[in-house]
Structure 1
Amino acid sequence: MRRTALVTAVVTASFVLTGCGGGTDLEGIEVTKGSSPKVTVEKDFETEKTQTRVVNDGGGEKVGDGDTVKINYIAVNGRTGKEFDNSYKNESPMTLTLNEKTALPGFYKGLVGKQIGSRVLVSVPSEDGASLLQSAESLGLEKGDTMVFLFDLVAKVPTAASGKPQKAPATSPKLTYNDKKQPAKFVKTKKTKAKVTESSAYVLIKGEGEKVVKDSTVSVQYVGQKYPAGDVFDESWSTGPRQLPLTEGNILDCWRDLLSGQTLGSRVVVTCSAADAYGKDAKKKGQPDGPLIFVVDLLDAS
């Protein structure tokens, strides 16, 4: 399932209203009913600040700061009135963490406080949207454009793995946790294997969700470290879950091969051989060299 254009660009409704032709009024934007709605925006629509209108109130749990949500959306360029992205057509909902550090400001301002199950119309001025997108041009956007979004808030995504605890192999480094009970780093024990000859994985928490398939996009929390107890070179817990495609060429082979088939909700430890990680030219590419070890929480997939 391919990723939507906006997902690539960004990564840290039930009744019809009468149109009014351009301007700044969200009430003049047409939104049709149904599971695959249409949004009609007249040319030269613009707004000076992020504005929202709840088209349908879903009545579910409120979305808060730092929450990760699964959403469907339609994106329209206010200047041209043309749609430039549509997750309904692509059959690929976006998973978005509403964190001020990583989310587009217009998304954060428009969706925090809204309820799961709701359909929400959001207009995003250039300063909260288009001017911050590095690939705005590829989406047909100019830096001064207002963007208009229709969002369906489908569900909240869990923030961590949950399920049945599993025993770790005695020969693996021991995973330690911080004061928030989040995975922090691996430490070497007397029984830890000194070398990694091939990539492998084991499960620390067995989730009860669906199995992850290759070429899907997964929402994950993770810590990456040089094996067996070296420096932590990357982690997501300080900023929120990340969305990563398990597609060839876009992810480490060890992730693609060893996370595929695991169940959502699981916490999986993946050990990557040097060859399956960044290879012999890792340092030249500015990447960590040698074998690597990751602890990955599989939260969602699309």
Structure 2
Amino acid sequence: MIPTLKVVLVRRILLATVAATSLVLAGCGGSDSGGGGLDDVKVSSAKSPKVTVDKGFKASKTTTKVLKEGGGDALASGDAVKVNYVAVNGRTGKQFDSSFKSDKPLTLTLDEKAILPGFVKGLEGKNIGSRLLVAIPPKDGFGKAQSQLDIKKNDTMVFLFDIVSKVPTEVSGSAKKLPGDVPKIVFDADKHPSGFSKTSKTAKKITKQSANVVIHGSGEEIQQGQTLTAQYVGQVYPDGAVFDESWTSSARSFQVGAGQLIKCWDEQLVGQKLGSRIVLVCPGDKAYGKTPPEGGKIKKDDTLIFAIDLLDAS
């Protein structure tokens, strides 16, 4: 259970939240001549490219056409990757989103629980630096109408993707000691944080939130409203149940400082440097308070503690 609770248009609606129905990962799509195929789609050479799709374009399966082969590593399942994109509705031939205009790449994690199935099928196995066209049929897309985007249930979407870069998988920087009253990090066999154990000085009750830097990264400061990609583990303070973690699956992305996360994350992560590992201690009023997630391991007013690796922001 990620602490993110909402999805917003348009960049966020293209991603599935953990609370959404799990998506099925499949292999890369092959060629598909349905609806004229991607050979009939035209892409301009402008800095902010125009993608021309004939009205009524349909695809029966996710199809990828490589327009330019990149020289970087191939993308694999679980990779977090930055892409620029143009999105077009095949039914209308109209563009409904583009990251090129804002020059802010979207970060996607190639994970069955994180994004639309068509994104995984279209991008997995492709090289960094590549430009692709990807046709995504309804079964690999939203699966239902999206009135905000004028997308109907049976619409095919066409995406132009520029694969910009991979997101780092590990943090690096100068090590810092945790204060003696903060629970110690417990590590798994791969040396990733897996929880916490209390110390003899650990306070039983916490009233103020705190952010403790244990690896000081040298990246840029996280800005309010950015999409952060991170690995983390969350536990009931001081050494209670671990209620969520990402290291055994893949990094996750969420918007910070925009009211979509618990207050502690929004208030304490903005301004931290990328490449850092942060231990957050979040008292109940800065976590879930009186309304913890139903059916979970968090009770009303529980204090929570997190170890978070800040990998990337865009």
**TM-score (normalised: structure 2):** 0.86
Q: 2:155 aligns with which of 141, 145, 148?
A: 145
Task: Give the residue type in structure 2 aligned to 1:229.
Answer: D
Q: Look up the match of 2:10.
A: 5
Kept in 2: contact 1:123–1:146 (CA 8 A): yes
- 1:69 equivalenced with 2:94 (yes/no): no
User: What secondary structure sits across from 2:12 in the alignment?
Assistant: helix
The within-5 A match list for 1:270-285 is 270-282=280-292
Distance verdict in 2 for CA 1:104–1:9, change over 3 Å: closer
Task: Give the residue type in structure 1 aligned to 2:129.
Answer: G
Residue 280 of structure 1, CA deviation: 3.4
Distance verdict in 2 for CA 1:102–1:252, change over 3 Å: closer
Point out where structure 2 has 5 or more consecutive residues left out of the alignment. Answer: 1-6, 19-33
Paired residues, number? 290
Question: Residues of 1 paired with 2:174 and 2:262: CA distance?
Answer: 27
- 1:105 equivalenced with 2:117 (yes/no): yes
Q: Look up the match of 1:126.
A: 138
- The worse-fitting range, judged by mean Cα deviation, of 186-195 and 265-274 is 186-195
Residue 138 of structure 1, CA deviation: 2.6
Q: Look up the match of 2:170.
A: 160
- 1:54 equivalenced with 2:66 (yes/no): yes
Point out where structure 1 has 5 or more consecutive residues left out of the alignment. Answer: 13-21
**TM-score (normalised: structure 1):** 0.89
User: What secondary structure sits across from 1:299 in the alignment?
Assistant: strand
The within-5 A match list for 1:119-268 is 119-131=131-143, 136-268=146-278
Task: Give the residue type in structure 1 aligned to 2:235.
Answer: Q
Question: Residues of 2 paired with 1:37 and 1:9: CA distance?
Answer: 20
Task: Give the residue type in structure 2 aligned to 1:49.
Answer: K
Question: Residues of 1 paired with 2:252 and 2:15: CA distance?
Answer: 12
Q: Look up the match of 1:43.
A: 55
Distance verdict in 2 for CA 1:3–1:56, change over 3 Å: farther
Kept in 2: contact 1:9–1:136 (CA 8 A): no
Residue 3 of structure 1, CA deviation: 6.8
Residue 279 of structure 1, CA deviation: 2.0
Question: Residues of 2 paired with 1:53 and 1:284: CA distance?
Answer: 44
Q: Which runs of 4+ in 1 moved over 6 A?
A: 283-286
Distance verdict in 2 for CA 1:221–1:149, change over 3 Å: same
What is the root-mean-square deviation of aligned Cα atoms in Å? 2.2
Distance verdict in 2 for CA 1:142–1:238, change over 3 Å: farther
Kept in 2: contact 1:4–1:90 (CA 8 A): no
User: What secondary structure sits across from 1:7 in the alignment?
Assistant: coil
Residue-by-residue CA offset, 1:194-239 (whole Å, 9 max, x unaligned): 2212000111111111111122221111111111111112222233
Give identity over the alignment, percent.
49
User: What secondary structure sits across from 2:108 in the alignment?
Assistant: strand
Question: Residues of 2 paired with 1:160 and 1:298: CA distance?
Answer: 9
The within-5 A match list for 1:89-100 is 89-100=101-112
